[in-house]
Structure 1
Amino acid sequence: MIGETMSRLEGKVAIITGAGAGIGRASMERFAEEGALVVGIGRTYEKLEQTKAQLQDKGLKCHIVGGDVSTWEGASEAFDAAFKVHGRVDVLLNSAGVGYSWAKVSAGSMANVVDTPVDKWREVMAINLDSIFYMCKLAIPKMLATGGGSIINISSILAVKGLADGHTYCATKAGVENLTRSLCMAWAAQGIRANCVAPGWTATDMIQDVMHMFDDPQVAKSLSPMLRPGTALEIANGCLYLASDEASYCNGSVLTIDGGNTAG
């Protein structure tokens, strides 16, 4: 990335969900650049192959595993396959999730409570929150067996900010943050650190349809004092810090990366 070999994650095995796009894909690359042995999980294998090709073009290695981590069966199968690649897990990055773009695939999923069908509430809960429960449930015993590890869960600034719509999404992200704090309380003494990264507006496919809002300077200012969205790489760098030993005393925290959106 910056013209030299780095090793902040040298030899660590990192399992990353949502590896087929956005923050998950960027984290696959950054973790691999820093010496991690990365295994990416995603439900769309074509996108995973694109991630792998992107890393290979830069001389980096990775493994990919197809699977839907929004169900216990899917998560179990995907985790087992990912774990078998290297026989351990030192870092778990839960990046799988859906946002506003999901409404195009699943009508009503990003509506308010009244307009959200019950099955859409459960659907988004499964993808954004249940998946993290499943992956942590699977990974923590493996981490305990090898002396600990680092769990990073992708939250959102909307965990602490209300919206007129997207109610299920907001609720899932609030759940992610308090689940993470609870993980910290349960296993900190056994060497497992659990932290969140809470992105603000980030230029990924998830919000591509509303990125035009940054074209209006007044609207852009309300979204970020920096007048631009963040990049997947900028979020991945935050994940990298929490995964590394540099964050050895960082536990139960929420690292907000939002260009200043929540500062005012």
Structure 2
Amino acid sequence: MLKDKVALVTGAASGIGRAVALVWAREGARVVVSDINEEQGRETAELVRELGAEALFVRADAGNARDHEELVAQTLRNFGHLDAACNNAGIGGASGPTADYALDAWDAVLRINLSGVFYGCKYQIAAMQQNGGGSIINMASILGAVGFANSVAYTSAKHGVLGLTKAAALEYAAKGIRVNAVGPAFIHTPMISGLEQDAATHAALVAAHPMGRLGQPEEIAELVAWLASDRASFVTGAYYPVDGGYLAR
């Protein structure tokens, strides 16, 4: 499905990002793995190689524009082109009501979860124009479509990711660059590990999903792989929840 394609994923040290890297490798892509966590990021790259695919690890801070620029530059230097990218890096941020939400906490979440996606798109699109097209998948959330109390920064950022995705999709559709967003519900990842430690909180999270369970990173990665492939050639500007029915309530 992705044979001979070069695919880049941020936030790939664990969770959904690592799952995306491994599914892309399984499908034949050469994978660029990026994360601020160098040790675990290199582990992901090694797992990609164990699947028989080429891998490059590049340490990058997703909230830093220059890091994104260099990440894409290293991709082009090593592989010559860029066909697919998944802007997955994100943080949960602080919890609290809007009036009490700390300004530095707001800035931290928006820096990674929204500005970081914009920076990624900016430099990825420039590279994809050189080879006549490509596919970008931005990791949003179910909270890009609905509100969530005590999570004003995260919810705002993910809503912003949907707007960014639609705008970029319109701008570059005629140039062969597709831009879509994926909206996971609560997934078994390190981001929610703290919530799962409390039995009552975990039970409430499970109950919010009609399928009666949380999702697995691989279930998100399979959709990302399809969107990155030519099988999704007429798909752009779309938002795909992967949520066990969460948004159907």
- TM category (shorter chain) comes to over 0.9
SS in 2 for 1:46: helix
Residues in 1 aligned to 2:205 and 2:143: alpha-carbon distance in whole angstroms: 17
- Hey, what does 1:90 align to over in structure 2? 83
- Hey, what does 1:48 align to over in structure 2? 41
Q: For residue 51 of structure 1, report the CA deviation from its aligned partner.
A: 0.9
Where does the alignment leave 5 or more consecutive residues of structure 1 unmatched? 1-7, 103-108
Residues in 2 aligned to 1:131 and 1:220: alpha-carbon distance in whole angstroms: 27
Residues in 2 aligned to 1:217 and 1:37: alpha-carbon distance in whole angstroms: 37
Q: Does 1:15 align with 2:8?
A: yes
- Hey, what does 2:133 align to over in structure 1? 148
1:205 maps to which of 153, 165, 190: 190
Residues in 2 aligned to 1:217 and 1:89: alpha-carbon distance in whole angstroms: 39
Instruction: Indicate conservation of the 8 Å contact 2:188/2:216, yes or no.
Output: yes
> Measured at CA, do residues 48 and 221 of structure 1 come closer, stay the same or move farther in structure 2, by a change above 3 Å?
closer
- Hey, what does 2:31 align to over in structure 1? 38
Q: For residue 111 of structure 1, report the CA deviation from its aligned partner.
A: 2.5
Q: For residue 214 of structure 1, report the CA deviation from its aligned partner.
A: 7.3
SS in 1 for 2:156: helix
Residues in 1 aligned to 2:56 and 2:3: alpha-carbon distance in whole angstroms: 16
SS in 1 for 2:98: coil
- Aligned residue identity for 2:195: V
TM-score (norm 2): 0.94
Instruction: Indicate conservation of the 8 Å contact 2:28/2:53, yes or no.
Output: no
Residues in 2 aligned to 1:217 and 1:169: alpha-carbon distance in whole angstroms: 20
- Hey, what does 2:163 align to over in structure 1? 178
- Hey, what does 1:5 align to over in structure 2? none
Q: For residue 85 of structure 1, report the CA deviation from its aligned partner.
A: 1.5
TM-score (norm 1): 0.89
> Measured at CA, do residues 137 and 216 of structure 1 come closer, stay the same or move farther in structure 2, by a change above 3 Å?
closer
SS in 2 for 1:114: helix
- Aligned residue identity for 1:189: A
Residues 5-63 of structure 1, C-alpha deviations (whole Å, 9 max, x = no match): xxx00111111111111111001000011011110111110111221232334444311
- Equivalent pairs: percent with the same residue? 36
Q: Does 1:67 align with 2:60?
A: yes
- Hey, what does 2:145 align to over in structure 1? 160
SS in 2 for 1:210: helix
- Aligned residue identity for 1:49: R
Instruction: Indicate conservation of the 8 Å contact 2:61/2:67, yes or no.
Output: yes
Residues 156-199 of structure 1, C-alpha deviations (whole Å, 9 max, x = no match): 00112212211100000000011101111101011010001100
Residues in 1 aligned to 2:159 and 2:201: alpha-carbon distance in whole angstroms: 29
SS in 1 for 2:100: coil
RMSD: 1.8
Q: For residue 213 of structure 1, report the CA deviation from its aligned partner.
A: 6.5
Residues in 1 aligned to 2:52 and 2:200: alpha-carbon distance in whole angstroms: 36
Residues in 1 aligned to 2:131 and 2:138: alpha-carbon distance in whole angstroms: 21
Residues 61-89 of structure 1, C-alpha deviations (whole Å, 9 max, x = no match): 31110011201222222232233220211
Where does the alignment leave 5 or more consecutive residues of structure 2 unmatched? none
Q: Does 1:243 align with 2:228?
A: yes
Q: For residue 231 of structure 1, report the CA deviation from its aligned partner.
A: 0.4
Q: For residue 217 of structure 1, report the CA deviation from its aligned partner.
A: 9.5
Q: How many residues are paired up?
A: 249
- Hey, what does 1:194 align to over in structure 2? 179
Residues in 2 aligned to 1:91 and 1:9: alpha-carbon distance in whole angstroms: 9
Residues in 2 aligned to 1:165 and 1:216: alpha-carbon distance in whole angstroms: 15
- Aligned residue identity for 1:45: E
> Measured at CA, do residues 218 and 40 of structure 1 come closer, stay the same or move farther in structure 2, by a change above 3 Å?
closer
SS in 2 for 1:161: coil
Residues in 2 aligned to 1:37 and 1:114: alpha-carbon distance in whole angstroms: 46
SS in 1 for 2:137: strand
Q: Does 1:256 align with 2:238?
A: no
Residues in 1 aligned to 2:59 and 2:22: alpha-carbon distance in whole angstroms: 18
